[in-house]
Structure 1
Amino acid sequence: MQRIEFTAKNFFWSTISSVVSAVLGFVSRTIFLSSLGIEYLGLNSLFINVIAMLSLSELGIGVAINYSLYKPIAENDIERIKSLMHFYKRAYRYIGCIVTGIGLGVMLFLPYIVKDSGGIRNLYVIYLIFLFNAAYSYLFSYKRTLLAADQKTYRLTMIDMVVNMATATLQMLMLLLFKRYLIYLLISVGIGIIQNIYINRYINKTYPYLLDKQIARLSKKDRSGLMKNIKALMLHKIGDLCVFQTDSIIISSFINITMVGVISNYTLLINTVNRFVSNAINAANASLGNIIAVENSEKQKAIFRKYDFLAFWIYSWSALCFYFLINPFITLWLGNSMVLDQRTVGMALINFYILGRRLPIDNIKSAAGAYRQDKYVPMIESLINLVSSIIAVRYLGVFGVYLGTFLSSILPAVYKPMVVYRHVFHSDVREYFLSYMKYALVLMANVLVVSLFIRFLVPAEVTVASFVVRGLTCLVLPNLFMYAIYRRTEEFKYIINLLTIITLKRRSPGLNG
């Protein structure tokens, strides 16, 4: 029951934070565009992706330590926790130096990465601010892992939410008053430093043993095991970043920075919704680690099936809603000039769905520490993505970039479930693939039903009224369709029961502790 309580807390506060972020993000984006224009928006999105690429030097240490903490936390092994956190602290200091060094080297290539940036001033200063913001955070961020592994992510979420509200509000005010991008960035850096110092003190108070001077070094065997996981995770990290953080760089290099800005509006909306839906899936992450540590493989697989069903329902419905609503919304919000063609949107949403459907597999795999068995798959995936995207963008534009991502995603979608079923569940993976295909067919049928309904009953002209009708259709019809199919299944009944328990827990005073 404690697992459910922690999951409920994590999910509740993550959802509240996502709602706040969604509102602030929408208002902030509108003010940003009106104050600075589409070129600066494109540059902002591009540098976020470039800095994310630099984080490959983190080498997966955070995930490896997180996995290593599950068991000592469950057993209250304070000495081992201290040793792991000390190792983590030293590693992250080296990482901060590596990020800074590589980041400074990237400056030489900025003219080739940022295409058609004639209207942007202080390009190198802007980049250095982004780089500093990334590098200094490594001095503090390692301690967050302990709260996450201890199933108490909600405490960080509450702090982050308040800080993000303050940052966004101050940034919007400064944009309205001064319309200066440098001021906008410096506000984020300044408040971020204060936030990290506060969180560092908060975690020290919550876990006072982190301040102990007497810390035993990890044994040679422990360090060897950690390094094996870190090496495998390094390949996963590099592969994932090459797939998911290179789209903006390719588009900026082969098309222009303005198109990056246009796409970033879609990314804002998709990522906003993705925060909601991934929160529902990821809220149970630390509980999964606990399940892996104490339950047998049959129990693990039974829970996973329900977990996978929840991911299917949420991500299929979200992708469907986006397909029918995102272009009308962009039209009403920013105008026709900011709209992508429906084919490109469809391909982006296929990638959104496939990535979301991978979350349960990725999370159970991470919780079990199964990093080494498929360590080369992300590298092959990234190679397929880069080659196919660079070739396709020349002939198909933005659609080609998303097509490259889709082609590269097929390999991990097949191989990762094989790893989990073979090495974690010790079971036949064919049942997973059969379930996956059934879910995909249900999604396609659902899209067809909603498409026919909208085509014949909703006006084609984009107005507020027609958008509301589309929205209500997407809210009700697909969920009724899936309810009719799954209402008698064990997975559906389990999810309803779980939601009931979480709701009751939410109403009890103890949940807020």
Structure 2
Amino acid sequence: MGRTKQAARNIAFGYVGQIATALMSFILRTIFIHYLNEELLGINSLYTNVLSILNMAELGIGTALNFSLYGPVARGEKEKIKSYMQLYRKAYHVIAMVVAGVGLALVPFLEYMVKKPGCITKRDMVLYYLIFLFNTVSSYFVAYKYSLVNAQQKNYIQTNINTITKIAVVFCQIIVVLTTGNFYLFLIVDAVLQLIQKIFVSRYLDKLYPYLRERNIDPLTKEESDTVWSKTGALVFHKVGDVARLQTDALIISSFIEVTMAGVVDNYNMVVSTVSNFVNIIFNSVISGFGNLIATESKEKQYDMFRVYRFFASWVYGFSAVGFMVLLTPLVKVWLGDGWILAPAAVYCFLTDYYFKGDRIVLSNYKTAAGVFEQDKYLALIQGAVNLVISIVLVQTPLGITGVYIGTVVSGLIANITKPVIIYKACFDRGAGEYFVDTVKYLASMVAVLAVCNYVSTFVLRSMNYGTIVLMALIITVIFNGTYFVLYGRTPEFKYLVGKVKERLHFS
């Protein structure tokens, strides 16, 4: 099956899964807020972020090995695949032990991370945390097996398994909250069902790839091992910097403001991530396809596909960013009430970073597929340091939570400026001037449409309810996509995308 068809299959299954899990998650969040207290919502958000920080122990070994598998998979080199997977398995077992050790070492410091915990005792804080830690550590014993599935562009297998598990977990958690209101049972249900899933996945993938259980495995050559560890070494910097930039906001908010505010922010994050997950399904589904493209096609062909990829991202992220900037706060207000609203400045900063993240995802996904890790390995560290310094300083000023997101925006823009220069030179042997011209063009288009939509919303949203929000969403859809069609409908990138859609419709 070709790259385009594999990507289309991954996207289709990804959408089905995302729709199902999004609906269940919104129902669960609404019930959680009404039946459990705000502090527990904040704890849930905080610990999720703390464990994301602990995942830093993976330090990029998975990304480096995924890249290393693209070539052997494309060439059908079974013995070489076995060798890489053996290295991957050993590395992840060590990582699981490291995460467990570091996670346990953090237990004495939990009380300092949770400001104004309300009725939550220190004992509860620790036990809740240990359940979260168990979930994280146990995942490492299975996660490495997905690498071969994804290298073969069969991401839909992982998507389907995760979707079924998520639906089962959320359904059981809803029952627990409604019948008992017990947060311990809420977490234990998740842990037990996730453990069952991991056991199933391990056995299923063993049957799918029986040769991975063979004992006659040749070790990698020194050159191959050195390549993996060299790229892993570079990815250590990326991982540490990304964690400092992307995973610390909830921790800063919980430590310097209060833990309940982390829950308020998490509601906004949930709405945005639900929509962005639909977007990211498209972009993440083509990473392995890009890996195959880079392994088999010319740089000119690679560059043309990158421009299409980047154009599509600018369109989709611009459209969703405008929708969020106009409708996110009204939606939260109608959904949960005035007590769950964030300051408008904080929301705009948060969504500004979301828009520019679209460009960063394009750049990061392409360089991941191309194995370009060493050239910008210090950049993520700089970003992380800038984010922490600005966020921690400004959160203690009258800006408060807005200051946290100013740090996020500023640190993100560093990558938007520097990564194109690095990647264009490393991957395409050309300057990035054209990239920045396109950036200004796409940004100006988005801002112009946003101004028009904001003006229209002052009339449509005078009476705020789900009906007027849906109406405004339809208006934004027409204005944004109509404007972009007029502006960019004759570009080669747009024509290529239309051609691919027509191919799929004709194929169907």
Q: Would you say same fold, with TM above 0.5? A: yes
- Does residue 384 of structure 2 align to residue 393 of structure 1? no
Post-superposition CA distance 1:211-245 (Å, at most 9, x none): 10100111111111111100100110111111110
C-alpha distance in 2 between matches for 1:164 and 1:268:
15
C-alpha distance in 2 between matches for 1:463 and 1:302:
44
- Is the contact between residue 245 and residue 383 of structure 2 (CA under 8 Å) also seen in structure 1? yes
- Does residue 432 of structure 2 align to residue 446 of structure 1? no
1:468 deviates by: 2.8
Counterpart selection for 2:274 from 272, 276, 283: 272
Tell me the residue number matched to 1:431: 434
1:416 deviates by: 1.2
- Is the contact between residue 32 and residue 175 of structure 1 (CA under 8 Å) also seen in structure 2? yes
C-alpha distance in 1 between matches for 2:379 and 2:119:
41
C-alpha distance in 2 between matches for 1:50 and 1:286:
29
Counterpart selection for 2:425 from 422, 426, 436: 422
Aligned length: 505
Tell me the residue number matched to 1:377: 379
- The aligned amino acid for 2:272 is I
Tell me the residue number matched to 2:80: 80
Counterpart selection for 1:318 from 317, 320, 338: 320
- Is the contact between residue 376 and residue 419 of structure 2 (CA under 8 Å) also seen in structure 1? yes
C-alpha distance in 2 between matches for 1:11 and 1:93:
31
C-alpha distance in 1 between matches for 2:198 and 2:466:
42
Q: Do the aligned partners of residues 465 and 165 (structure 1) sit closer, same or farther apart at CA in structure 2, a change above 3 Å counting? A: closer
C-alpha distance in 2 between matches for 1:272 and 1:245:
18
C-alpha distance in 1 between matches for 2:6 and 2:467:
41
1:462 deviates by: 1.8
SS of the aligned residue for 2:224 comes to helix
SS of the aligned residue for 2:120 comes to coil
Tell me the residue number matched to 2:30: 30
1:44 deviates by: 0.2
- Is the contact between residue 49 and residue 250 of structure 2 (CA under 8 Å) also seen in structure 1? yes
1:504 deviates by: 4.5
Post-superposition CA distance 1:441-475 (Å, at most 9, x none): 111111112122223x3242423343233222122
C-alpha distance in 2 between matches for 1:57 and 1:397:
31
Q: Which moved more, 1:414-423 or 1:75-84?
A: 414-423
Counterpart selection for 1:497 from 480, 485, 499: 499
C-alpha distance in 2 between matches for 1:330 and 1:130:
27
- Does residue 158 of structure 2 align to residue 161 of structure 1? no
1:499 deviates by: 2.3
| Pairing of 1:329-340 with structure 2 (within 5 A) | 329-340=331-342
- Is the contact between residue 363 and residue 420 of structure 2 (CA under 8 Å) also seen in structure 1? yes
- The aligned amino acid for 1:86 is Q
Q: Which moved more, 1:338-347 or 1:54-63?
A: 338-347
- Is the contact between residue 67 and residue 291 of structure 2 (CA under 8 Å) also seen in structure 1? yes
C-alpha distance in 1 between matches for 2:504 and 2:205:
26
| Pairing of 1:2-401 with structure 2 (within 5 A) | 2-121=2-121, 122-395=124-397, 396-401=399-404
C-alpha distance in 1 between matches for 2:345 and 2:475:
21
C-alpha distance in 2 between matches for 1:500 and 1:315:
23
Q: Which moved more, 1:51-60 or 1:153-162?
A: 153-162
Superposition misfits of 4+ residues, deviation over 3 angstroms: 502-505
- Is the contact between residue 4 and residue 502 of structure 1 (CA under 8 Å) also seen in structure 2? no
C-alpha distance in 2 between matches for 1:33 and 1:5:
41
- The aligned amino acid for 1:353 is Y
What are structure 2's unaligned runs of at least 5 residues?
none
- Is the contact between residue 84 and residue 218 of structure 1 (CA under 8 Å) also seen in structure 2? yes
Post-superposition CA distance 1:42-74 (Å, at most 9, x none): 100000000000011101010000000000000
- The aligned amino acid for 1:160 is N
C-alpha distance in 2 between matches for 1:341 and 1:117:
22
1:193 deviates by: 1.0
Tell me the residue number matched to 1:510: none
- The aligned amino acid for 2:204 is Y
Counterpart selection for 1:402 from 405, 421, 425: 405
SS of the aligned residue for 1:350 comes to helix
Tell me the residue number matched to 1:472: 474
TM-score using structure 1 length = 0.97
SS of the aligned residue for 1:194 comes to helix
SS of the aligned residue for 2:106 comes to helix
Percent identical among aligned pairs is 37
C-alpha distance in 1 between matches for 2:476 and 2:329:
14
- The aligned amino acid for 2:485 is Y
SS of the aligned residue for 1:424 comes to helix
C-alpha distance in 1 between matches for 2:466 and 2:228:
55
SS of the aligned residue for 1:373 comes to coil
- Is the contact between residue 39 and residue 118 of structure 2 (CA under 8 Å) also seen in structure 1? no
- Is the contact between residue 143 and residue 203 of structure 1 (CA under 8 Å) also seen in structure 2? yes
C-alpha distance in 2 between matches for 1:59 and 1:87:
15
- Is the contact between residue 278 and residue 356 of structure 1 (CA under 8 Å) also seen in structure 2? no
